[in-house]
């Protein structure tokens, strides 16, 4: 059975730094699954910063460009198992969620149809349910990082609102299945579970 640490917090709250520290403390054999795509110079800068903090013995696996699917994760985890890694750090599922819904071009819609929202919601829940099943059947320690996006003002545009709602659903799904859950605010962590 896999063991799941779920780290949740706002932007720049310290969750990724702690995830890296936790991974270092758990094992020298760490596989890092990066979910971001390089879309512009700012994203390149952020990715470079994260890469610079990783230990040279860690191996980074990047998801294929475009919409991620479970086959990407299965291939990566097969490599992780063959190469005998002990810890998997997945950073972060917020970007993963965005990549999943991006192809629907919700940013171009003034109103998101209820049926479309329901369809996307079912796909998102199924994707993360499958991801959790994969995590639980592998004998590895998983550290999963996510953003808490529901504590601020209600976004003024449809994509922001639907993304916030889906992120809340996914975070609840992940926290429920996790062995340990930590919440980060201003560089401080609090254990929730």
Give the catalytic positions in this structure.
50
- 10, 38 Cβ separation under 8 angstroms: no
How many Cα atoms are found within 13 Å in the side-chain-facing hemisphere of 118? 3
Tokens for 87, please give them.
Answer: 């810890």
Instruction: Characterize the bridge pairing of strands 180-185 and 188-191.
Output: antiparallel
Decide if 96 contacts 104 (C-beta within 8 A): no
Q: In sequence order, what are the beta bridge partners of 90?
A: 33, 144
Phi-psi region of 186 (alpha: psi -120 to 50; beta: other; left: phi over 0): left
- Write the DSSP symbol of residue 104: T
Going from the C-alpha of 103 to that of each of 43, 100, 107, 160, the distances in angstroms are 19, 7, 10, 15
């Amino acid at each position: 059975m896999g063991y799941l640490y779920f780290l949740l917090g706002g932007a720049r709250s310290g969750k990724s730094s702690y995830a890296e520290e936790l991974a270092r403390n758990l094992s020298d054999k760490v596989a890092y699954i990066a979910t971001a795509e390089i879309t512009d110079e700012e994203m390149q800068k952020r990715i470079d910063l994260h890469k610079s903090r990783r230990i040279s013995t860690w191996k980074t696996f990047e998801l294929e460009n475009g919409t991620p699917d479970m086959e990407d994760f299965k291939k990566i985890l097969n490599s992780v198992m063959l190469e005998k890694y002990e810890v998997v750090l997945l950073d972060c599922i917020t970007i993963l969620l965005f990549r999943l819904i991006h192809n629907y071009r919700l940013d171009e819609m003034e109103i998101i149809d209820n049926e479309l929202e329901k369809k996307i919601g079912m796909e998102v829940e199924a994707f993360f349910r499958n991801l959790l099943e994969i995590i639980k059947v592998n004998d590895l320690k998983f550290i999963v990082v996510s953003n808490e996006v529901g504590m601020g003002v209600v976004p003024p545009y449809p994509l922001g609102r639907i993304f916030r709602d889906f992120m809340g659903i996914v975070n609840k799904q992940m926290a429920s299945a996790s062995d340990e859950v930590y919440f980060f605010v201003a560089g401080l962590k609090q254990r929730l579970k």
